[in-house]
Amino acid sequence: MSILSFFKGKGSKDSQRADTQDRGILVFEHTSEVIRAETVIKDAGWRVRVMGPPPEIRTGCDLVIEFPLIEELNILRILEAAGTRPLQVVPVTSPLLQPVDIFQTKDYGQHLMVRAANMKLTVDKETLTVVNVSGGGCPDVPYLAQEMVGKTLADAPAPESIGHTLCGYALQLAYEEMRRRC
């Protein structure tokens, strides 16, 4: 199997492994740009992962996209066309941090709460109305809460569409899990 088939298309899901020297990371200014770029690249059929940046380029609230270095030009071309150019492209030289991927749920009877990392989303199980957003520490959390609370899951904006930080990304994971469950 070629390195290409590891990363491109649905047929590659049988293996997640790639050697460190084969991978690079795309660095963006905001998490919201990472989320947009991830969608663009995945829609084009490439397998990429959202990860934590290496220590030397961390600023405090970061995500990067890990991608197969051999495909750098193709992926940059796709991003360029979508108007989402990264600030930097850096080869991976050390293990990257893995985002939290475990969900916790709490059933209050009428309400269900889903927690992803430090973010919690609570909905009314009958009406599917978002009744609360809690946790987190980045400034888009109060903004996301303001925009989502009081709306149904169908009507509320997805956190990925208006969030900008890691807390916003974590809330998106909780939102997706909630939609799976409700």
Helix (H) or strand (E) holding 169: helix 166-181
- 60: burial class by Cβ within 10 Å (0-12, 13-18, 19+)? exposed
C-alpha 117 chain-centroid distance: 12
- Among 6-14, 40-48, 82-90, 113-121, which window interacts with another protein (CB under 8 A)? 113-121
Contact (Cβ atoms closer than 8 angstroms) between residue 153 and residue 182: yes
**Minimum distance from residue 36 beta carbon to another protein (Å):** 14
128 binds another protein (CB under 8 A): no
The SS3 assignment for 21 reads: helix
146 binds another protein (CB under 8 A): yes
**Minimum distance from residue 131 beta carbon to another protein (Å):** 4
- Considering only residues 25 to 54 of the shown chain, the ones binding another protein according to CB under 8 A are 30-32, 52
Among 38, 62, 66, 160, binds another protein (CB under 8 A): 62
90 binds another protein (CB under 8 A): no
How far apart are the C-alpha atoms of 169 and 119, rounded to whole Å? 9
**Minimum distance from residue 129 beta carbon to another protein (Å):** 8
**Minimum distance from residue 136 beta carbon to another protein (Å):** 8
Among 90, 132, 152, 179, binds another protein (CB under 8 A): 132
Among 4, 61, 70, 89, binds another protein (CB under 8 A): 61
Among 8, 22, 82, 143, binds another protein (CB under 8 A): 143
**Cα–Cα nearest to 174, from 111, 131, 132, 114:** 114
C-alpha 25 chain-centroid distance: 15
